[in-house]
Amino acid sequence: MNRKNDKAEKGKSGRKTAVTATDVRKQLGLCGRCGPFLASYERLESDIDLETAVANLDGKWLTLDWNPNIRELVYRSYGNRVDIGFYHMDSLCPACRRRFVFHADDHERTLRIRLSSEGGYG
């Protein structure tokens, strides 16, 4: 019986696999546009909103709440103007090619940002 191997196996299986808000900040912070966007979003909406969004991750997508201030933030960060009449917009960050999607329906408006910038639309 090899105790070192037993401990190594326990350590591997006991690792935390859930993504945290800190992980998201690090991932988006690597981009000169996505990082400042997220920091400004947190100032506008609060850390609690980011924590909630991270807890509700949908695969590799972070879903953020939407309001008129976020509309201006998207324009300043990415150069995309989301007009009031838009129901859907699908675009890429010009710097890192991370995909982001605005969607509105009768009940809610959201901005979804893909955590990995790999592949763009692919």
Per cent of the chain over pLDDT 70 is 78
Reading the block at residue 64, the tokens are: 């953020």
Give the pTM: 0.75
What gap in Å lies between CA 30 and CA 10, rounded to an integer?
A: 32
Q: Tell me the per-residue pLDDT of 53-108, one tens digit each, with 9 for 90 and over.
A: 999 888 889 999 888 888 888 889 998 887 766 677 888 999 999 999 888 877 78
Domain edges within the chain: 19-114
Residue the block writes with tokens 């400004």: 40
